[in-house]
Amino acid sequence: MHLSDSLSNDRTKSKIAEPGPGAPAGSVLCVPSSAPKKEGAATLERRSPIADPGEHPVVGRMPTFKGALPERRGRIVRFVRATLKTTATLLIFVLAALAAAVIWDYYVTAPWTRDGSVRVQVANVAPQVSGQITEIRVVDNQYVHEGDVLYVIDPFDFQVALDTERAELREKAADLQVKRMQAERRQHLTNLSTTPEEQQLYVGSAAQARAAFDAAQQQVAQADINLKRTLVRSPVNGYVTNFLMRVGDYAHAGVANISVIDDSSYWIDGYFEETKMAHICIGDRAEAELMGYRHPIIGRVESVTRGISVSNAAPSTQGLPNVDPVYTWVRLAQRVPVRIRITHVPGGVPLVSGMTATVTIRDAEAQKSGGSLGERLTRLAGNLRDVIRGPELSPNCVPRISSENGVTVTLPTPKPVAPLNAAEINPGLLPDMNASPRGQ
């Protein structure tokens, strides 16, 4: 009975302690909670800590507050995180600035261009006489040496002309010999046998015969060289290209019908923007990478073109200049051709005229240094200074007037034959002034 009564009393107290749904906040039936008392006790304990009775106090030891060590660690962690963020931000900024400087130097100031091409001299061979082609001795893309016969023109007409001129030469030689002897005889006669007028006539006749004889010799020489020119020869060592000839075609004098590439005349033209010309010097090392090949062609800057076409100089209607409008802030840089002499071609890289090349110029300092990281950074800093202040002038970089003379190539041409003596053509015709000539 007592146990049941106590349980009922507890239930009754709990019902009384719990406020109803509609009960006001300040109802007398609400029992205040003990939580604020506990919080106040904890605050008081933090404000005035009481030493454990079981611990012995140590003389000179600072009292340790509860929670001080984790708070200090939190401040250190926050400081380290903030420092790392700042350092990372600065590092990213420095790397971005360095990358921008490198890209600016590479694309704006560095002397390189993708606009390069392989060039070569081509000998356009034209016959010096006209005639039908009777023989062809080469094929397309064949390598020929200087002096090799490319094709043959029908020599019949030229052989007939040579024989005719030789016959006329013999006739002129005989006439010269007779008239010269007649003039000499008149010179030894007395005034009773001849007169000064007659002597003068015979001397003049001999002089005319001499002139006709000299002209006949030149005609023979011309006919002889025309016959030799029926064999059309290569003027250079190289490759026959774009060969479209066939036997039976008619060759016209002075009209090119076959082309030979001079294999010793290859060079590379790099078309550099005018903003990069201050970094190009004659004699600098140049590297040209052809499309499709990994190893570059090595060369030297040989010369810089001193003139390019200007469209504004072309006269328009009424002879007035035709000036093209340009944007004030955006101006395209002109491109200047730079000639590069080839010094080394890697094995397996064929040179074909017209191939595209990426040309890079290496200055003398880069050649000596080898291009280490520190020296590259030094050059980069110098290039950036040039961007800000302008490039330094190099008086000896590109001379105003070149003192070097190019190689002069001379094509051998036939020389006129030496004048002959009439007695050599017709020997024995006039052995002596008083003797009779021997029959021919």
Digit-coded pLDDT (tens) for 399-419: 766 656 666 677 777 776 667
CA dihedral of residues 158, 163, 166, 168 (deg, nearest 10): -100
Digit-coded pLDDT (tens) for 177-214: 888 888 888 888 877 777 888 888 888 888 899 999 99
Check residue 320 and give its pLDDT: 86
**Average confidence (pLDDT) over 265-270:** 95
Check residue 68 and give its pLDDT: 72
**What is the torsional sign of CA 70, 72, 74, 77?**
negative
- Cα 93 to Cα 97: distance, rounded to the nearest angstrom: 6
- Residue 37 pLDDT > 70: no
- Residue 279 pLDDT > 90: no
Check residue 275 and give its pLDDT: 83
- Cα 54 to Cα 160: distance, rounded to the nearest angstrom: 145
- Structural class in CATH, domain 111-121+262-306+332-387: mainly beta
Check residue 388 and give its pLDDT: 66
- Cα 152 to Cα 300: distance, rounded to the nearest angstrom: 41
**What is the torsional sign of CA 199, 205, 208, 210?**
negative
Length of the chain (residues): 440
Check residue 29 and give its pLDDT: 39
Check residue 411 and give its pLDDT: 73
Distances (CA, A) of 415 to 95, 160, 218, 224, 338: 74, 22, 11, 12, 39
Residue among 266, 338, 274, 263 nearest 297 (CA): 266
| pTM for this predicted structure | 0.66
- Residue 364 pLDDT > 60: no
Q: What angle do CA 211, 214, 219 make, to 5 degrees?
A: 125
Percentage of residues in the chain with pLDDT exceeding 90? 41
Digit-coded pLDDT (tens) for 325-362: 877 777 788 899 999 999 999 999 999 999 999 999 98
Is 378 or 130 the better-scoring residue by pLDDT?
130
Query: How many whole angstroms from its chain centre is CA 389?
Result: 28
Check residue 331 and give its pLDDT: 78
Residue among 103, 168, 145, 166 nearest 380 (CA): 103
Digit-coded pLDDT (tens) for 109-155: 778 999 999 999 999 999 999 999 999 999 999 999 999 999 999 99
Q: What is the maximum span of the chain, computed from C-alpha positions, in angstroms?
A: 206
- Are β-strands 250-251 and 122-125 bridged in parallel, bridged antiparallel, or unpaired? unpaired
Per-residue burial over 321-346, b if 16 or more Cβ lie within 10 Å, else e, is: eeeeeeeeeeeeeebbbbbbebeebe
Provide the mean pLDDT of the chain: 79
Least confident of 36-45, 348-357, 365-374, 394-403: 36-45
Beta bridge partners of 300: 285, 341
- Cα 377 to Cα 98: distance, rounded to the nearest angstrom: 10
Check residue 413 and give its pLDDT: 75
- Residue 234 pLDDT > 80: yes
Check residue 181 and give its pLDDT: 87
Digit-coded pLDDT (tens) for 199-209: 888 888 888 99
Check residue 110 and give its pLDDT: 79
The model's confidence at residue 50, banded by pLDDT at 50, 70 and 90, is very low
Check residue 156 and give its pLDDT: 96
Check residue 1 and give its pLDDT: 43
Is residue 267 within 8 A of residue 302, CB to CB? The reply is yes
- Residue 35 pLDDT > 90: no
Domain layout of the chain by residue ranges: 111-121+262-306+332-387, 122-258
**Average confidence (pLDDT) over 94-106:** 81
The model's confidence at residue 389, banded by pLDDT at 50, 70 and 90, is low
- Structural class in CATH, domain 122-258: mainly beta
Residue among 122, 112, 143 nearest 296 (CA): 112
Residues contacting 180, CB < 8 A, separation 6+: 206, 209, 210, 422
